[in-house]
Amino acid sequence: MQIAHPYLLFLGDVPDALAAKTAIGIVDWRRDWCIGQTRLDGCAADTGLPDRTIQEGAQNGARTMIVGAVNAGGLLPGHWVDSIVEALDAGLDVASGLHVKLASIPAIHEAAERNGRMLFDVRHNTETFATGKGTKRPGKRILAVGTDCSVGKKYTALAMDKAMNERGYTSSFCATGQTGVFISGRGVALDAVIADFISGAAEWLSPAREENQWQVIEGQGSLFHPSFAGVTMGLLHGSQPDAFIVCHEPTRTKMRGVETPLPSIQQVIDMTIACGKLTSPDIRCIGIAVNTAALTEEDARSYLAGLSAEYDLPATDPVRFGMETIVDRVSQEFGAP
Amino acid sequence: MQIAHPYLLFLGDVPDALAAKTAIGIVDWRRDWCIGQTRLDGCAADTGLPDRTIQEGAQNGARTMIVGAVNAGGLLPGHWVDSIVEALDAGLDVASGLHVKLASIPAIHEAAERNGRMLFDVRHNTETFATGKGTKRPGKRILAVGTDCSVGKKYTALAMDKAMNERGYTSSFCATGQTGVFISGRGVALDAVIADFISGAAEWLSPAREENQWQVIEGQGSLFHPSFAGVTMGLLHGSQPDAFIVCHEPTRTKMRGVETPLPSIQQVIDMTIACGKLTSPDIRCIGIAVNTAALTEEDARSYLAGLSAEYDLPATDPVRFGMETIVDRVSQEFGAP
């Protein structure tokens, strides 16, 4: 799956920014891939991109319209279908992160056929994966793991990949979730893979590289989340990381969506090593990435300094303070670029 | 999914017994549900059931023909399709454990429609599952776990369920693999569930019961298998077992299908408790079930006695020596029926 850019981001008429978080994530990381946003009457989300009709998007060179918003209930409203058909008729491919398959809707399927355009459903994999093999492959890999879901693993991995490249390492980002796939133009929504093939899909998406080439892999779930730990485990085994970064949100007390208490950072480090060494015997933690949005800058600095002393690891907020200290740790542990 | 019996077992023309292991597993545990086997010319497998044509099967009361064999390559040969259509025309439902979906083959789909019969593809789930919640639910659960795949977890769970009922406990077997689904008439092939829903599917298949009712749950994979540990993890979290039995095959040195060395029984006990206590805080090991087929009876007894002393747990071969000692342990730890 390789999604062509420039993108036109379709936001529909969603009632708030949260419903458009996929589009907002794309703009955060790939503004230069985006030529505009298309919003229907009543849309309350705004990515900050220029508003364009679908026709204007096509005239300005857009190659793919991304359905970057989710409506309530996960279904595709009739007037969104009309917009998607219009995009296909205007010569764009269409990519969606919705649960419903674009091609399952006859009007969309027919419009794609009629125009010879591609439909991408990033929540539905068309790739056939082998089961994971666990054989150590060359190249260096960093995985973002978390004390919970939605604690900044994608952001951390993207920021780490960017910082690594800026410091002279050869690094690429491996997407494992839908927004990440749009940001990188390829990847696998791991949570949508058939269970038998989780680690195999993770092996596929972070393949063998030269020994001095790095891949930074977006994490999924948490080994301590009772809904999603199976995905996390398969990703850990399949990506066989040389190093991992623990992502954390300090104000949370329960795992997202359930009543399970949050684990400590130490528990996550210990369990990630205990499980991860099956396929990566020297796996180690190289840093802690914290979403400190709820803290003042002074409190955030103090909190991170405390974590750093407690764990003997660099601790940072990727948004506020960057990833330099964790790249320093890579340099210390694995050598300069 | 509830598959009606009596069953007629279709073996096709497979070249060896291994290709018919699903049918053989059904006969091992549900001979009284089976009214015969249907074999095509050249079939080298034999379940020991009387040979019957499809017409004879229907006349003798069969309600479902089970495709209990796999052909090389996983595809469905044309002459098997003919037999399946014949069964549907004779008024039987058809259930299959093949990777290919029965309904995806036009002749089969049409015959099912024409006759108003059901098609069951146990490798493809039609149920929609919620994500796992991790909330402790009433009832007692025992999970079979393993040092590897294919070490007797299904057999152990079925034998444990049977022994529990014979000793006066109220117990039911929960199938998590295709043969188990045929044996119990219901269940979920967990390896075919979408990754996000593994633990949710496990919660669905071992639902709340009265506090003194038991469920014995078929295990899948191993926490130490680099291909399938994600499935094992989700099943462990979702089934939230009060107790588990470690299954082991003593002659194996590498995990099935990969180069990863086998873990020790102690490693499996420790990791199962470390991960399982997330949803079942008092989880404990109640026994070790060993496939001693490769040992003489004397060697087997000596080996099991050694394990029992080493781990302070009952150790048995379910086939040779039964599950009595592990039921004794249940009685000691959880009380009489």
Sorted by where each starts, the structural domains of chain B and their CATH numbers stand as: 7-121 (3.40.50.720), 140-334 (3.40.50.300)
Question: How many Cβ pairs within 8 Å bridge chains A and B?
Answer: 141
Work out the minimum CA distance from B257 to partner chain A, whole angstroms. Answer: 8
Stretch among A304-308, B148-152, B216-220 having the lowest mean pLDDT: B148-152
pLDDT (tens digit per residue) in A40-54:
999 999 999 999 999
Yes or no, beta carbons of A195 and B192 under 8 Å apart? yes
Q: What is the pLDDT of residue B123?
A: 86
Among candidates A269, A134, A272, which has minimal Cα distance to B262? A134
CA-based nearest distance B237→chain A, Å? 6
Share of chain A above pLDDT 90, in %: 89
Query: Which candidate from B196, B229, B274 shows the least CB-CB separation from A228?
Result: B196
What pLDDT is attached to residue A74?
Answer: 64
pLDDT at B73 exceeding the cut of 70: no
Local structure of residue A178 (DSSP, 8 states):
H
**Cβ atoms of B333 and B284 closer than 8 Å:** yes
Q: For B227, which of A190, A200, A231 is closest by C-beta distance?
A: A200
A70 versus A132: the higher-pLDDT residue is A132
Examine the pLDDT at A283 and tell me if it is beyond 90.
yes
Contact A283, A272 (CB under 8 A): yes
Over residues A166-221, the pLDDT tens digits come to 999 999 999 999 999 999 998 899 998 999 999 999 999 999 999 999 999 999 99
Compute CA distances A2 → A77, A122, A186, A188, whole Å.
26, 11, 5, 11
Report residue B324 CA to chain centroid gap.
21
Chain B residue at shortest CA distance from A228: B196
Interchain CB distance below 8 Å, B237 and A231: no
At B121, the pLDDT band (50, 70, 90 cuts) reads very high
Inform me whether the C-beta atom of residue B259 falls under 8 Å from chain A C-beta atoms.
yes
Query: What confidence score (pLDDT) does residue B225 get?
Result: 97
A221 to chain B: nearest residue by CA? B196
Among chain A residues, CA nearest to B256? A133
**Sequence-distant (≥ 6) Cβ neighbours of residue B30 within 8 angstroms:** B5, B7, B182, B183
Which of B54, B53, B55, B50 is CA-nearest to residue B34? B50
**Is residue B13 scored above 80 in pLDDT?**
yes
User: What pLDDT is recorded for position A97?
Assistant: 86
Using omega within 30 degrees of 0 as the cis cutoff, is the peptide bond preceding B281 cis? Answer: no
Q: Could you tell me which of A248, A137, A183, A157 has the C-alpha nearest to residue B259?
A: A137
* Predicted pLDDT of residue A73: 66
Residues of chain B found within 8 Å of residue A200, distances taken between Cβ atoms: 227
Measured at the alpha carbon of residue A221, what is the angle toward residues A219 and A222, in degrees to the nearest 5?
A: 100
Q: What is the ipTM of this complex?
A: 0.91
Q: What is the 3-state secondary structure (H, E, C) of chain B?
A: CCCCCCEEEEEECCCCCHHHHHHHHHHHHHHHHEEEEEECCCCCCCCCCCECCHHHHHHCCCCEEEECCCCHHHCCCHHHHHHHHHHHHCCCEEEECCCCCHHHCHHHHHHHHHHCCCEEECCCCCCCCCCCCCCCCCCEEEEEEECCCCCCHHHHHHHHHHHHHHCCCEEEEECCCHHHHHHHCCCCCHHHCEHHHHHHHHHHHCCCCCCCEEEEECCCCCCCCCCCHHHHHHHHHHHCCCEEEEEECCCCCECCCCCCECCCHHHHHHHHHHHHCCCCCCCEEEEEEECCCCCCHHHHHHHHHHHHHHHCCCEECHHHHCCHHHHHHHHHHHCCC
Edge-to-edge order in the sheet of strand B34-39: B34-39, B7-12, B64-67, B93-96, B119-121
Residue B34, pLDDT score: 97
Per-residue pLDDT reduced to its tens digit, B180-233? 999 999 888 999 899 999 999 999 999 999 999 999 999 999 999 999 999 999
> In DSSP terms, which residues pair with A246 in a beta bridge?
A145, A288
Condensed to tens digits (0 to 9), the pLDDT of residues B234-275 reads 999 999 999 999 999 999 999 999 999 999 999 999 999 999
For residues B227 and B259, is the Cβ–Cβ distance under 8 A?
no
CA-based end-to-end distance of chain A:
30
Is A276 within 8 Å of chain B by CB?
no
Average pLDDT of span A231-239: 98
Residue A275 at interface with chain B, using a CB cutoff of 8 Å: yes
B226 at interface of A, judged by CB pairs closer than 8 A: yes
CB of B227 less than 8 A from some CB of A: yes
Is a pLDDT exceeding 90 seen at residue A62? yes
> How far B156 CA lies from chain A's nearest CA (Å)?
22
Residue A156: which H helix or E strand, with range? helix A153-166
Does residue A4 carry a pLDDT above 80?
Answer: yes
Q: Give the H or E element holding residue A145.
A: strand A140-146
Whether residue B74 has pLDDT greater than 70: no
